[in-house]
Amino acid sequence: LSTAAEVDELITPSVEIRYTKNLINGKFMDAASGKTFPAYDPRTGEVIAHVAEGDQEDINRAVSAARKAFDEGPWPKMTPYERSRILLRVADLVEKHNDELAALETWNNGKLYEQAVNIEVPMFVRLLRYYAGWADKIHGLTVPADGNYHVQVLHEPIGVAGQIIPWNFPILLFAWKVGPALACGNTVVVKTAEQTPLTGLFAAQLFQEAGLPPGVLNVVSGFGPTAGSALASHMDVDKIAFTGSTDTGKIIYQLAAKSNLKPVTLELGGKSPFIVCEDADVDKAVELAHFALFFNQGQCCCAGSRTYVHERIYDEFLEKAKAAALRRVVGDPFKKGVEQGPQVDSQQFEKILKYIKSGVESNATLECGGDRIGTKGFFVQPTVFSNVQDDMSIAKDEIFGPVQTILKFKDTDEVIRRANNTRYGLAAGVFTNNLDTANTLMRGLKAGTVWINCFDVFDAAIPFGGYKMSGVGREKGIYSLHNYLQVKAVVTPLKNP
């Protein structure tokens, strides 16, 4: 196993941290309380910036700026084409600052720089262009109703959208949330995750530079139970969208219901099965299953975190999956060739180690890994468990770390039943060349996304979201637009001919 977590050899990112204050009504400002909180480098646990700590009062200010920009301001009154032009300019600016944004993302999150620079920031740009393209194509309907009436259905922006995002894909999820809301003509208040406040503020500055009017997009950094909860329960917020854990999602739903019944979109946790069928090419299956779990340090809501392998190929698969984990290069995420960086913070790091301990205690077989790497930062060894049973907590709970749990199955009906026996339903992976098996699994699995012979394929146009306790609603594609539009029926009598 690589021990590249020699943190004395750290690369210093070539980016300056310029934006640490809340963006409210077009201006960066200190928190009303004057308080700040630290942002960390997960490679070392060292503080890299002090960020304005938004709270109820900052959320109030941001919401009233967004309200004014919606009710009086130019945004919903601009032509859709003008809105589209601004979003396209933002995309151009983000593209121009691609490397800086990626460096900041890696510095504050620990994810691979190569991933941030080649996938996540470019995907931000792609999403913005996709939704900029929609801005002038959102239109209503005319409806042939009974009686002598002319019936129109208008699609209007909802108003002020509150959006709460997590730390695992900070810059990418910022675009998922903000892109469709703005394209539809809404104004927005974003609450970023306390672990990763920096790239959202940088992006917000680029929206201003692109000519977004003040108050249309406001970004408040701060903690969940204070700033996040103030946003979700605000009486003047017309819609709330949240990505994060299922437990917090339930709180958001309650806050929305208890306040003004604002509509809610939730993208929550998962424990997605990755099913390797009998006919699979084992080498390829191992590679994809490894990627499905270990990508982004295992910190993906849709991670393929239950690897179900057919009994006939189980032993060979296990040997090779273990070898793949042992080969995985862990280290400084800025270094070329490194495949896994640190976990985002000490809390996640401790939680993962606790789950590994619980796996050992419940008599799953620890094939490799199981410990931290080095003494600084939050690096975890790529870990593989075999002999995992469905009722163990490592097979039921979201670990959100580099821990692969391998389970054995006998036949298709059985694996469908077991794969669906979970409170989650975000995604599923299927690996087979047998068309009948693929079709049976695809129809039988209760998940918002089924990837067949691929995994983690994301696209601006493909909807994403969960069945069951993995969420409410869908994001991306045309589905995000519906989350940010109000429907108004207009009925006018027609004169008798």
Euclidean distance between CA atoms 221 and 228, whole angstroms? 9
Concatenated DSSP letters for 381-425? --EEEES--TTSHHHHS---SSEEEEEEE--HHHHHHHHH-SS--
**Sign of the alpha-carbon dihedral angle for 202, 208, 210, 212:** positive
- Which range binds ligand ADP by CB under 6 A, 125-133, 152-160, 221-229, 412-420? 221-229
CB of 385 to ligand ADP, least distance (A): 22
3-class DSSP assignment, residue 208: helix
Euclidean distance between CA atoms 245 and 226, whole angstroms? 17
CB of 225 to ligand ADP, least distance (A): 4
Euclidean distance between CA atoms 401 and 109, whole angstroms? 14
The answer to whether residue 456 forms part of the interface with ligand ADP (CB under 6 A) is: no
Q: Which amino acid is at 255?
A: L
With CB under 6 A as the contact rule, the residue among 232, 240, 324, 399 that binds ligand ADP is 232
The answer to whether residue 270 forms part of the interface with ligand ADP (CB under 6 A) is: no
CB-based contact 312:277 (threshold 8 Å)? no
CB of 261 to ligand ADP, least distance (A): 17
Q: Which amino acid is at 470?
A: S
The answer to whether residue 37 forms part of the interface with ligand ADP (CB under 6 A) is: no
CB of 136 to ligand ADP, least distance (A): 32
The answer to whether residue 229 forms part of the interface with ligand ADP (CB under 6 A) is: yes
CB-based contact 329:107 (threshold 8 Å)? no
Q: Cα-flanking dihedrals φ and ψ of residue 205, to 5°? A: -60, -40
With CB under 6 A as the contact rule, the residue among 57, 225, 250, 462 that binds ligand ADP is 225
- The residues annotated with a catalytic role in the active site are 267
With CB under 6 A as the contact rule, the residue among 248, 265, 305, 437 that binds ligand ADP is 248
Q: Which amino acid is at 211?
A: G
Query: Which is closer to ligand ADP, CB of 231 or CB of 427?
Result: 231
The answer to whether residue 73 forms part of the interface with ligand ADP (CB under 6 A) is: no
- Which range binds ligand ADP by CB under 6 A, 86-94, 117-125, 227-235, 426-434? 227-235
The answer to whether residue 472 forms part of the interface with ligand ADP (CB under 6 A) is: no
User: How many residues at the interface with ligand ADP, by CB under 6 A?
Assistant: 17
CB of 243 to ligand ADP, least distance (A): 7
The answer to whether residue 394 forms part of the interface with ligand ADP (CB under 6 A) is: no
Place of tokens 């920096």: 198
CB of 333 to ligand ADP, least distance (A): 19
Q: Long-range contact list for 254-257, CB < 8 A, 24+ apart? A: 255/229, 256/232
Burial class for 356, CB neighbours closer than 10 Å (0-12, 13-18, 19+): buried
CB-based contact 377:402 (threshold 8 Å)? no
The answer to whether residue 54 forms part of the interface with ligand ADP (CB under 6 A) is: no
The answer to whether residue 245 forms part of the interface with ligand ADP (CB under 6 A) is: yes
The answer to whether residue 244 forms part of the interface with ligand ADP (CB under 6 A) is: yes
The answer to whether residue 369 forms part of the interface with ligand ADP (CB under 6 A) is: no
The answer to whether residue 251 forms part of the interface with ligand ADP (CB under 6 A) is: yes
Burial class for 36, CB neighbours closer than 10 Å (0-12, 13-18, 19+): middle
The answer to whether residue 224 forms part of the interface with ligand ADP (CB under 6 A) is: yes
State the binding string over 156-195 for ligand ADP (x if CB under 6 A, else -): --------xxx------------------------x-xx-
CB of 351 to ligand ADP, least distance (A): 9
Pairing status of strand 264-267 against strand 239-243: parallel
CB-based contact 326:467 (threshold 8 Å)? no
Place of tokens 């469709």: 180
CB of 393 to ligand ADP, least distance (A): 17
- Which range binds ligand ADP by CB under 6 A, 47-55, 181-189, 219-227, 477-485? 219-227
Applying CB under 6 A, the residues found at the interface with ligand ADP are 164-166, 191, 193-194, 223-225, 228-229, 232, 244-245, 248, 251-252
